Amino acid sequence: MRSLKTTLTSLGLALGLTAAAAAADAWPSKPITMVLPFPAGGAADVVARSLAEEMSHRLGQPVLIDNRAGASGIVGANLVAKAPADGYTLLFTSTLPIMTNQFMYSRLPYDPRKDFAYISQVATGNLVLAVNPSVPAKSVKEFVAWAAQNKGKVNYGSWSVGSYPHLAGAFMSKSKGLEMNHIAYKGEAPMLQDLIGGTIPMAIGTWGSMRAYIETGKLRALAVTGDRRLDALPDTPTFAQAGLTEAEYKPIGWLVLAAPAATPAPIVARLEREAMAAANSTAVKARLQLAGLEPIAGSAAQFRSEYDAAMPVLERVVRLAGARAE
């Protein structure tokens, strides 16, 4: 009897694997939806559309972008986490929904560590601290001094609660005693419009979105995150070079492709292969570089390792900034 049960169990596993392989062979047989948990118009949206177009050619099916903004990326991320794990609903996301939110919110409707199969880290990017030209500061040191003279009166923007620009601004305000006021926008595009218009004097944003405004003098760049200067901004120092050496100013942004956790391994492997090839394509690399992002085209295993290493750093940034959202 025990031998029979073992045989039946083995047979069941074999049939299951055969069925999964057959399903993977037939996939994709219809359009794929790539959910972006942010509004249209930002750097992530531009890159997502370029990646989707390239993957459509490789997969033989349309890859359609679905912008599902709301609640710091929670709406879109939760939609994918709860979607059927059949490879037809994907998530293209920045760091916030899959990492930072778990430290910002006491409860999330999904677990970013367990509910996603991470496919590929497509790119990373330095962020830029910029000010409106009306601000009488040509360096980070001068900005901090000016904000101190206007304690409690200076506003800074971010594209959502819990985003790195929010956390970095909160950390600067708290550590320097500036009492700056955070204004959260529904995306980077409206944040930049208010920064250019002078409604807010300072914000941290992506180089790709800020580039045209910095190059035309509508914004002034003071510092960049990460360990090295941007090639396109050789005269703009890193935060460390500008005198803010704390680790909280070093994080860089991710752009990552993911699927629901239970997606069959053969489909995840195909997606990983095609996403890496798409990210390495001439068209996508050109779009990434234009957006000020560094093409990575990393494997799932490589991203998981980076994710685990970054977790304690970003948890500390949230805690030290005193930022919470409910």
Domains annotated on the chain, with CATH:
30-124+252-321 (3.40.190.150), 127-249 (3.40.190.10)
Q: Indicate the DSSP class of residue 237.
A: P
What pLDDT, on the 0 to 100 scale, is given for residue 273?
Answer: 97
Residue 123 CA to residue 29 CA, distance in Å, equals 28
Hunting for tokens 């950390």 — which residue is that?
171
Q: Assess contact for 196 and 213: CB atoms under 8 A.
A: yes
206 has pLDDT over 90:
no
Confidence band of 270 (pLDDT split at 50, 70, 90): very high
Q: What is the mean pLDDT of residues 131-139?
A: 97
What pLDDT, on the 0 to 100 scale, is given for residue 188?
Answer: 87
Structure-model confidence comparison of residues 323 and 88, the more confident one: 88
Encoded tokens for 101: 């939110």
7 has pLDDT over 70:
no
Confidence band of 316 (pLDDT split at 50, 70, 90): confident
pLDDT tens digits, one per residue of 100-117: 999 989 899 999 999 999
8 has pLDDT over 80:
no
The listed range with the strongest mean pLDDT (14-23, 35-44, 49-58, 230-239) is: 49-58
What pLDDT, on the 0 to 100 scale, is given for residue 19?
Answer: 53
What pLDDT, on the 0 to 100 scale, is given for residue 208?
Answer: 81
What pLDDT, on the 0 to 100 scale, is given for residue 138?
Answer: 97
What pLDDT, on the 0 to 100 scale, is given for residue 251?
Answer: 78
Q: Assess contact for 216 and 196: CB atoms under 8 A.
A: no
Specify burial of residue 235 (Cβ count, 10 A radius: 0-12, 13-18, 19+): exposed
Longest C-alpha distance within the chain, in Å? 84
Residue 223 CA to residue 238 CA, distance in Å, equals 5
Q: Assess contact for 70 and 87: CB atoms under 8 A.
A: no
Kindly report the CA angle at 220 between 218 and 226, in degrees rounded to 5? 130
Share of the chain above pLDDT 90, in %: 66
Encoded tokens for 60: 């033989």
Hunting for tokens 């935060």 — which residue is that?
239
Q: Assess contact for 204 and 168: CB atoms under 8 A.
A: yes
Q: What is the mean pLDDT of residues 34-46?
A: 88
322 has pLDDT over 80:
no
How many CB atoms lie under 10 A from the CB of residue 163?
29
When the pLDDT of each residue in the chain is averaged and rounded to a whole number, the result is 90
